Amino acid sequence: MKMTKLLVIAIIFSLASCKTVEPPKPVGPLPSERHLAWHDMEYYAFVHFNMNTFTDMEWGLGGESPKMFNPSELDVRQWAKVAKDAGMKGIIITAKHHDGFCLWPTKTTEHSVKNSPWKDGKGDLIKELSEACEEFGLKFGVYLSPWDRNDADYGKPEYVASYHEQLRELLTNYGEVFEVWFDGANGGTGYYGGANEERKIDNKTYYQWDKVTEIVRELQPNAVIFSDGGPDIRWVGTEEGFANETNWSIMRRDEIYPGWPRYKELRSGHQDGTHWLPAEVNTSIRPGWYYHPREDHQVKSLPRLVQTFYESIGRNGNFLLNLPVDDRGLVHETDVKQLMALKKQIDKDFSNELAQGLQVTATEVRGDDSAFDASNVNDGDDETYWATSDGVETASLTFEFDKPTEVNRILLQEYIPLGQRIIKFSVEAEVNGEWQTIDEQTTVGNKRILRFDTVEATKIKVNFLESKGPLVICNVELYRAPNLLIAPEVDRERSGMVSLSVPDDEVDVYYTLDGSEPTNNSKKYEKPFMVEKPTTLKAIGYDSETGEQSESQMTYLDIAKKDWKVVSVSSGNIDETEKLIDENPSTSWATDKGVNTPQEIIIDLGESYELKGFTYLPIQDRYPFGIITDYEFAVSSNNRSWKTVSKGEFGNVVNNRILQTINFKPTTGRYIKLKAIMVDGEDHTASFGEVGVITNEK
């Protein structure tokens, strides 16, 4: 009897030890299948190409004639080839922007390609592009602006019905769509069938978002829906091209709606989120979303693009990079060059993975089971993961090199089908037998990449310090990325004095003032120098040890502001107005609060110039206010009789606070007046970061 009892106990024990350990329970909310497919997209193109491309605007008013849409060399296969060669996985096109012009022959309105000279009105750009995407193995997505400044019925239920129909057309006739993009900009002034008035709608209710979602689900069940707050993926709360370091893929989604005033929270997500709502980082390769010839020299620099890569994909977001296709209908040569430079650099950064196959140990493994072993993090398989036991939410992973090895990047991935968990972690390196902390960070999510100064390490340790549950890590990679030379930064004082700087003392700076490309034979920068007249400055950083040089930085400098004086303001403290002409983008000046627009400032330029344009830099503060959205600009030779030379809207200036450049017919004068006709915000103050002019001076 005793023997049998012992045998039973032994059998139970051995069965228990054979029993495979259960995987960790999910920590919700969780991603859906369509989310997981979207996370894999990582990097794809936005294309802003529509009526604005031909009117040189950012936000068309809606009254533009379809006749103006007439690309001379349109080639959507070139777009697709460029995107493919750049390593992108899809293209999202502005099928309709706020001005209402449709790039496909919709049945809902006459305001479309069918009434344009392009292909004698027989063209269908959406069809061409969807086919080109298929040919090049890219996914295809559509942007359909809810706001429509052309439609006479905008504001009434009739427009919403037609909007839903447009969506149906786009999702029915053009094959598989991976993402549908709904913009947050809404209501306001417009053409509206000739009414030319302001129309306000309620963002939350007017478009019947539930119905919109229903249409997408019915016609394209695999597509993700983008808007400020989803329902599937979210805007990242800035158009500058970054997510915050802390970036949860979850949010309290029901609090969010288009135009949500707490949009800055979109940059970080919510640790206690109720829905999976990951961030898409959208930004343009140029200052504007649409093509403007004046921005041909402002295509983002390689270091800036690389930074955006690390601050989007490297911070648990997807990277949606906009290409403003030009009025020929092609991705501009300069943009192509930068895209390829970015591809090459990222390929270089991640060319030599150092962690794979290394000896890796964990302080704890789930149930001591080899299925969840630490070696799963560097086996090159994202479906296997290292996990800790229930209740173990702090643990470390240590990688051991055979010999001291240079490292400056670490890439970490949580196994997100089981939820996003990590709240805090740190990275240490063992250098010359001593441990040093490299970084202390917060979230990981689908992918987190840290860049740090190169260390020659014998071991790398990741300490997971706080988590929402047991740890579930599917991938860790280590790299030694090459150094990237940064182009010089240009600073100019009011006097006209210019200084150039690079972050690295070892790097020399060379420059030219005649528009030619600098080399290490050009003038070497030793000390600040004077530029008083309009000049094109180009500068490079040069490493004499390696012979490597940075991209060249081109800056256009107009007349120096040394004799300028603000002589009159409609309200506000005139003694502080220097801030709007001090060449310092981080200082600003504003009129008094609560005074109704128009508000204005008058500047005496000190002498008479032939003026052909002006610039307005919106306030660059973290919490901006009083941005001028509608302006009037006048010139005078005596500060008494004025000539209005330009009047209009700074399109999209609130979302994208870039330098606004307005050209007008050359006019001679000594005094300039900038009037704020309309400003953003409720407090009726007009703010000015910097005001400048463009002259014909030689």
User: Whole-angstrom Cα distance, residue 417 to residue 47?
Assistant: 31
Task: Report d(CA 74, CA 82) in Å as an integer.
Answer: 14
C-alpha closest to that of 102 among 137, 161, 154, 62? 62
Reduced to 3 DSSP states, what percent helix, strand and coil does the chain have, rounded to the nearest 5?
20, 35, 45
Work out whether 185 is an interface residue with ligand FUL (CB under 6 A): yes
> To the nearest whole angstrom, how small is the minimum distance from the Cβ of residue 655 to ligand FUL?
5
User: In this structure, which amino acid lies at residue 225?
Assistant: I
Q: Which is nearer to ligand FUL, 146 or 689 (CB)?
A: 146
Q: Which residues contact 613 (CB under 8 A, 6 or more apart)?
A: 661, 662, 663, 664, 693, 694
Length of the chain: 698
Hey, is 120 helix, strand or coil?
Answer: helix
Among 177-185, 241-249, 449-457, 475-483, the segment contacting ligand FUL (CB under 6 A): 177-185
In angstroms, rounded to a whole number, what is the distance separating the alpha carbons of residues 559 and 207?
Answer: 49
Contact map string, positions 307 to 346, toward ligand FUL, x by CB under 6 A? ----------------------------------------
Q: Which of 64, 124, 183, 551 binds ligand FUL (CB under 6 A)?
A: 183
Rounded distance, CA 50 to CA 409, Å?
40
What span, in angstroms and rounded, lies between the C-alpha atoms of 671 and 692?
A: 12
Please state the separation of Cα 629 from the chain's center in Å: 22
DSSP state of 518: P
What CA–CA distances, in Å, run from 324 to 139, 212, 279, 314, 513?
Answer: 19, 27, 22, 24, 29
- Binding to ligand FUL (CB under 6 A) within 58-77 occurs at 58-59
Interface pattern 564-603 for ligand FUL (x via CB under 6 A):
----------------------------------------
Choose the binding region for ligand FUL from 156-164, 182-190, 391-399, 557-565 (rule: CB under 6 A). Answer: 182-190
Gap between the Cα atoms of 453 and 407, Å rounded:
8
Q: Which amino acid is at 550?
A: S
> Is residue 116 a contact residue for ligand FUL (CB under 6 A)?
no
User: Could you say which of 104, 226, 242, 289 contacts ligand FUL (CB under 6 A)?
Assistant: 289
Closest to ligand FUL by CB, 61 vs 531, is 61
Q: Smallest gap, in angstroms, from Cβ of residue 95 to ligand FUL?
A: 12
> Quick check: 282 binds ligand FUL (CB under 6 A)?
yes
CB of 282 to ligand FUL, least distance (A): 6
151 in contact with ligand FUL (CB under 6 A): no
Of 68 and 654, CB closest to ligand FUL: 654
Q: How far is the CB of 654 from ligand FUL (least distance, A)?
A: 9
How near is the Cβ of 143 to ligand FUL at its closest, in Å? 7
Kindly tell me which of 58 and 477 has the beta carbon lying closer to ligand FUL.
58
For residues 50 and 475, which CB has a smaller minimum distance to ligand FUL in the complex? 50
User: 674 to each of 482, 556, 665, 686, how far by Cα in Å?
Assistant: 47, 22, 16, 11
Least distance to ligand FUL from the beta carbon of 131, Å?
Answer: 24
Question: Which pair of structure tokens corresponds to residue 95?
Answer: 């099928």
- Segment near ligand FUL (CB under 6 A); pick from 181-189, 211-219, 303-311, 491-499: 181-189
For residue 496, how many other CB atoms are within 10 A of its CB?
18
Q: Counting contacts by CB under 6 A, is residue 652 touching ligand FUL?
A: yes
Nearest residue to ligand FUL, by Cβ distance, number only: 185
Stretch that binds ligand FUL, among 99-107, 179-187, 495-503, 545-553 (CB under 6 A): 179-187
- In whole angstroms, the minimum distance from the beta carbon of 96 to ligand FUL comes to 11
Rounded to whole angstroms, how far apart are CA atoms 545 and 462?
A: 34
Please report whether residue 660 would count as binding ligand FUL according to CB under 6 A.
no
Burial 584-595 (b: 16+ CB within 10 A, else e): beebbbbbeeee
Q: What is the DSSP string of 357-389?
A: T-EEEES--GGG-GGG-GGGGGSS-TT--EE--
**Identity of the residue, 183 or 583, whose beta carbon is nearer to ligand FUL in the bound complex:** 183
Smallest gap from residue 145 Cβ to ligand FUL (A): 7
**Cα dihedral sign for 214, 220, 226, 227?**
negative
Please tell me whether residue 184 binds ligand FUL under the rule CB under 6 A: yes
From CA 280, how far away is CA 271, in angstroms rounded?
17
* Sole window of 180-188, 377-385, 540-548, 625-633 interacting with ligand FUL (rule: CB under 6 A): 180-188
Site string for ligand FUL, 228-267 (x = CB under 6 A): ----------------------------------------
Smallest gap from Cβ 346 to ligand FUL, in A, equals 23
Under 8 Å between Cβ of 339 and 82: yes
Scan residues 508-567 and list those touching ligand FUL (CB under 6 A).
none
C-alpha 435/C-alpha 428 separation (Å) is: 6
Given 78, 375, 655, 667, the residue binding ligand FUL (CB under 6 A): 655
Helical (H) or strand (E) element with 622: none
According to the binding rule CB under 6 A, does residue 283 interact with ligand FUL? no
Distance CA(253)–CA(234), nearest Å, equals 9
Closest to ligand FUL by CB, 289 vs 564, is: 289
What separation, in Å, do the N-terminal and C-terminal C-alpha atoms of the chain show?
A: 111
Q: Locate tokens 């250098």: which residue?
A: 431
Q: Does 53 contact ligand FUL by CB under 6 A?
A: no
The least CB distance from residue 450 to ligand FUL, in Å, is 29
Number of residues in contact with ligand FUL under rule CB under 6 A: 9
What's the sign of the alpha-carbon dihedral 275, 236, 290, 79? negative
Mask: binding to ligand FUL, 448-467, rule CB under 6 A, as x and -? --------------------
Least distance CB 149 / ligand FUL (angstroms): 11
Residue 130 CB, nearest approach to ligand FUL (Å) = 20
CB-CB neighbours of 4 under 10 Å: 8
Q: Which is nearer to ligand FUL, 305 or 397 (CB)?
A: 305
Separation of alpha carbons 368 and 416, rounded Å:
22
Give the interface with ligand FUL as residue ranges (CB under 6 A).
58-59, 183-185, 282, 289, 652, 655
